[in-house]
Chain A
Amino acid sequence: MSDAIEAEQSFVDKFPDEARIVRAALLSSFLALALGAIFGIIQTLHRTGVFRGIISSTDYYTSLTAHGVFLAISFTTFFLVGLFTWAVTRSLDRPLIDIRITWTWYAIMAVGMTMTGVSILAGFVPALDMSADVLFTFYAPLQAHPMFYAGLAVFIVGSWIAGADWFRTFLAWKRDHPDERIPLQTFMVLTTMAMWYIASSAVAASVLIFLLPWSLGFIDSVNPTLTRTLFWFFGHPVVYFWLMPAYLLWYTVLPKIAGGRLFSDPLARVVFVLFLLLSTPVGIHHQYLDPGIAEGFKFISMTNTMFLLLPSLLTAFTVVASVEYGARQRGGTGLLGWLTDLPWRKPEFTGMMLAGLMFAAGGFSGMVNAGMNINYMIHNTIWVPGHFHLTVGTAVALTFMAATYWIWPQISNKPVYSRAIGLFQVVVWFVGMALMSNAMHAQGIMGVPRRTAEPEYSGFDYPTMFGGFEELNVQIAIGGTLLFVSTVLFIGNLVLTMGNPKVSGLAESLPPALSGPDDAPQVLDSLRLWVGIALTLVVLAYALPLAAIINRGGLLGPGVGTYPAWIAPTLDALAAAVTPILGAVGGAASLAGVIL
């Protein structure tokens, strides 16, 4: 078979079982990307008023829920679990402990996301008595069908098992290599997952203790501020959960593609530790304009948030320096002349670099989002989607797509169908996002709200600032269309790649860092310590606000209703469905009785 005689073994040659699950996870991720992009283009054309013929304005929110959940939760997380499985196996150079466990968590996650996805998409079908038009933030007292919450819980549990799978594999490795430093990629996986356990515990609690029982009719009401706060306890760190796989690629893969190596391994570790510590005690910055939360808590959250800029700013330096090193190895000279000596024809390189550039721009709008009182200007305007389409929508998404051109051949032994289309695709994404995001930021400053099917109002006109409202709408529509085209090219290229014959010689290795792990203080690797500190910071940041919120509104809220209430119709439907079945069963039983 593929016992490549001379050629170095690729990942799939060495670890065929792991490669299969990585491929499965990435394909799930890209399915979500494709669905998300369809809703993306629909809503872009709808809200800009360019074309409103596909869905009605009430269905806009079904579409937006699907777009948010499929892209922000499904696309990102499935890619992450695939990438992390690859990274752990590759960097430990050993298979996972038990591939059946691996398939189990993959299946659990897939089932969970299918449940949630079906409950959302059912909203398009009036005949089905099911919908979840609550957007990906599912703020109570808007209520989704119970299956929406149940699916999310299942999905999260699946991701927990995935984390345990990697931890166990690491521990097994540790027994064989007691004195070695944790390989960098595994270190990144473990710190990310530690953060994920802390962060997702809050949303799991919110879903399992409040939202799911409430949607099933076991409790009458919930405290909207409490469930909202628990959501954002999770909602901010989740952005780092999206980002850290991209960082893993920027730190460990990008330098190699550039022809060099990572500038500093110790600093990379410091950055991931900082994310573990600071990602969670900041979520209240999404609630700067919430009533019922004291200004002091908001200020503390802001200072934490500002310091969370630090690891990203450090990353900018380390990653660019690693790329510069590569360029100089390739003969680059001059203060900036080396920029021309980089492999710009490689889609994986150009894609990641453009993603990084957009992240730098997103850094600015992120600073504004973090700046407590300036939130009055941009809160819930379309500035905010403008911001996160730069971060998760490009820094993360484009990095993932670019990395796919590099990683897919190694996990399948199939060369990319067309690297030229790949290059074109990443550039189109960049141009499309530049247009869309820029216009969204500009409209946001004018006060145009996010999350609305028809942002034009009858009673007033927006002030003209950076171009008129209509003009910016056209920019958004053109940008969104380019993004959609880019996604189609990506998916098409990948599908054609899958049809390619297998070849050998596609292996890639990753060089060690310029300043290696031995330069890193040992304490950086003591995960227990960092998790302990992270938990302490979380308690410090959240104990008082949560106590105050519960104290004000009670666990179940101050007299708040339910919109819409699912359980009554469900019970009725159930009764309606069960009665004929019972009748049939009864009939069959009596028939059987007669015959026997």
Chain B
Amino acid sequence: MHIHAYEKLWLAASILLILLLIGSVTYGAVGPGVAMVSDSEPPIDAQALDEDDRFSEPRVEQVGDNEYVAYVVAYQFGFEPSPIVVPENSTVTFYVTSRDVIHGFEVAGTNANTMVVPGEVSKITVKTDDRQEYGLICNEYCGAGHHVMEGKVNVVSQAEFDERNSGGDDA
């Protein structure tokens, strides 16, 4: 088969580009350590969340030195807890599941974003920076009230976080 020299050149450049793209994504995974939400969590009965000790009472919990977990339930049409309050400069792992249909969990303007599928638990770990209030939105159509489904993720100072948690329920 006869291929023009320029076309061969372009073919080589294209393959180079493709390798560069794959290389970038790989760099993102091993350099800054970006990890994909995956099958690490076992499936869950979506209609029996109130029997699950993580999701019967959605909440934020300290689990280690500066490490926190947030158990979040998405439902038609909201998130629990609301707002989700976490301390600044900490490591937070979100466990998100749905009680009914497929939803999205997107902290607007950030990289925290995952699908929420009934029967599955999405686990994503992020590092918070300074204090800031973020919008939390459902970015997958979930029914007629989809557009009112919103929440907040509030990154607060350590002091404020401790105050909230000692004052309120310490589940």
Asked whether A291 lies within 8 Å of B121 as measured between CB atoms, the reply is: yes
**A225 interfacial contact with B, CB 8 Å:** yes
Contact of B109 among A139, A375, A379, A447 (CB under 8 A): A447
A520 touches B38 (CB 8 A): no
Taking CB atoms and an 8 Å cut-off, the chain A residues in 545-585 that contact chain B are: 548, 552-553, 557-561, 563
A309-B17, A548-B39, A559-B45 given; A379·B139 CB < 8 A: yes
Residues of chain A within 8 A (CB-CB) of B109 are: 446-447, 462-463
B-contacting residues, A303-343, CB 8 Å: 303, 306-307, 309-310, 313-314, 317-318, 321
Shortest distance in angstroms between A344's beta carbon and chain B's nearest beta carbon?
25
Q: Which residues of chain B have C-beta atoms less than 8 A from A139's C-beta?
A: 101-102, 140
Q: How far is the CA of A298 from the CA of B45 in the complex (A)?
A: 25
Whether A460 and B117, one on each chain, are in contact in the complex, defined by CB atoms closer than 8 angstroms, is: no
A50 within 8 A of B: no
Contact of B36 among A57, A288, A452 (CB under 8 A): A288
A309 to B13, CA, bound (A): 12
Would you list 18 pairs from A and B whose C-beta atoms are within 8 A, ordered by A residue? Answer: A58-B144, A224-B119, A264-B7, A288-B36, A290-B115, A292-B117, A292-B120, A293-B38, A303-B22, A310-B18, A314-B10, A317-B10, A376-B112, A460-B134, A460-B135, A463-B109, A558-B46, A559-B47
**Across the interface, do B101 and A371 meet the contact criterion of CB distance under 8 Å?**
no
What distance in Å separates the Cβ of A42 from its nearest Cβ neighbour in chain B?
15
- On whether the beta carbons of B143 and A451 are closer than 8 Å, the reply is no
Q: Say which residue of B29, B47, B133 sits within 8 Å of A460 (CB atoms).
A: B133
**Contact digits for A272-307, partner B, Cβ 8 Å, 1 yes 0 no:** 000000000000000111111111001000110011
CB within 8 Å of A: which of B141-160? Answer: 141-148, 150-152
How near does chain B come to A119, taking the closest CB pair, in angstroms? 17
Whole-angstrom distance from the CB of A276 to the nearest CB of chain B? 18
CB distance from A24 to the nearest CB of B (A): 34
The interface residues of chain A lying within 8 Å CB-to-CB of B7 are 264, 267, 314, 317-318, 321
Encoded as 1 (CB less than 8 Å from any B CB) or 0, chain A from 51 to 66 comes to 0000001101100100
In this assembly, does A372 line the interface, its C-beta being within 8 Å of a C-beta of chain B?
Answer: yes
B123 at the interface (CB under 8 A from A): yes
Q: Does A350 contact B (CB under 8 A)?
A: no
A290 neighbours in B (Cβ, 8 Å): 37, 115, 117, 120
Asked if residues A449 and B36 are in contact (CB atoms below 8 Å), the reply is: no
Shortest Cβ-Cβ A-B pairs, 8 listed: A460-B135, A447-B108, A558-B119, A449-B139, A559-B45, A380-B139, A291-B122, A291-B120
The reply to whether the CB of B137 lies closer than 8 angstroms to some CB of chain A is yes
Contacts A224-B119, A313-B14, A380-B113 known; A135 to B100 CB distance under 8 Å?
no
Binary contact track A452-469/B, C-beta < 8 Å → 1, others 0: 111101111111000000
Interface residues of B in 103-141 (CB under 8 A from A): 104, 106, 108-123, 133-135, 137-141
- Chain A residues with CB under 8 A of B146: 61, 451-453
A307 to B42 alpha-carbon distance, docked (Å): 32
Q: Residue-by-residue, is A201-232 near B (CB-CB < 8 Å gives 1, otherwise 0)?
A: 00000000000000000000001110010000
* Cα distance A448–B104 in the bound complex, in angstroms: 13
Which of B6, B134, B137 is the most central at the interface, judged by chain A CB atoms within 10 Å of its CB? B137
Measured as residues with beta carbon below 8 angstroms from the partner, the interface class of chain A is 35 or more
- Establish whether residues A460 and B140, one from each chain, have CB atoms under 8 Å apart when the complex forms: no
In contact, B37 and A313 (Cβ under 8 angstroms)? no
CA distance A257 to B143 in the complex (A): 48
**Are A450 and B139 also in contact (CB < 8 A) when A57-B147, A559-B47 are?**
yes
CA distance A318 to B36 in the complex (A): 37
Report the minimal beta-carbon distance from B22 to chain A, rounded to whole angstroms.
Answer: 5
Quick check: B38 and A309 within 8 Å, CB to CB? no
Question: Quick check: A295 and B35 within 8 Å, CB to CB?
Answer: yes
Q: Which residues of B contact A447 (CB under 8 A)?
A: 106, 108-110, 135, 137
Contacts of B5 in A (CB 8 A): none
Once the chains are docked, how many angstroms separate the CA of A292 from the CA of B47? Answer: 18
Q: Which residues of the partner chain B approach A307 to less than 8 Å between Cβ atoms?
A: 18
Q: Which of A64, A293, A321, A521 contacts B39 (CB 8 A)?
A: A293
- B14-38 CB mask vs A (1 if < 8 Å, else 0) is 1101100110110011000011111
Q: Let me know if B140 and A294 touch, CB within 8 A.
A: no
**Is residue A509 within 8 Å, beta carbon to beta carbon, of the partner chain?**
no
Q: How far is the CA of A295 from the CA of B100 in the complex (A)?
A: 25
- Report B-chain residues with C-beta under 8 Å of the C-beta of A135: 141
- Asked if A495 CB lies within 8 Å of chain B CBs, one says no
Residue B89 CB within 8 A of the other chain: no
Q: Does A519 contact B (CB under 8 A)?
A: yes
What CA separation (Å) do A446 and B110 show in the bound complex? 8
Residue in A225, A373, A375 whose beta carbon sits within 8 Å of that of B119 in the complex? A225
The answer to whether A374 has its CB under 8 Å from any CB of chain B is yes
Is B135 within 8 A of A457, CB to CB?
yes
Contact B41 A291, beta carbon cutoff 8 Å: yes
Q: Hey, which chain B residues are within 8 Å of A266, CB to CB?
A: 1-3
Whether B93 is near chain A, meaning CB under 8 Å from some CB there, is: no
Shortest CB-to-CB span from A525 to chain B, Å, is 13
Q: Across the interface, do A558 and B147 meet the contact criterion of CB distance under 8 Å?
A: no
Q: Which of B2, B44, B111, B115 contacts A515 (CB 8 A)?
A: B2
Q: Is A133 an interface residue (CB 8 A)?
A: yes
CA distance A313 to B21 in the complex (A): 14
Task: Kindly provide the distance from the CB of B59 to the nearest chain A CB, expressed in whole angstroms.
Answer: 20
For the A-B complex with A447-B137, A519-B2, A552-B39 known, give 4 more contacts whose Cβ atoms are closer than 8 Å.
A61-B144, A224-B117, A294-B39, A457-B150
Contact between B150 and A454, CB atoms less than 8 A apart: no
Contact of B47 among A293, A381, A458, A561 (CB under 8 A): A561
B90 is an interface residue with CB less than 8 A from chain A: no
**Contact indicator B135/A373 (Cβ below 8 Å):** no
Residues of A contacting B29 in the complex (Cβ-Cβ under 8 angstroms): 373
Highest count of chain A CB atoms <10 Å: which of B25, B42, B104, B152:
B25
**Nearest residue, chain A, Cβ from B150:** A457
The answer to whether the Cβ of A370 comes within 8 Å of any Cβ in the partner chain is yes
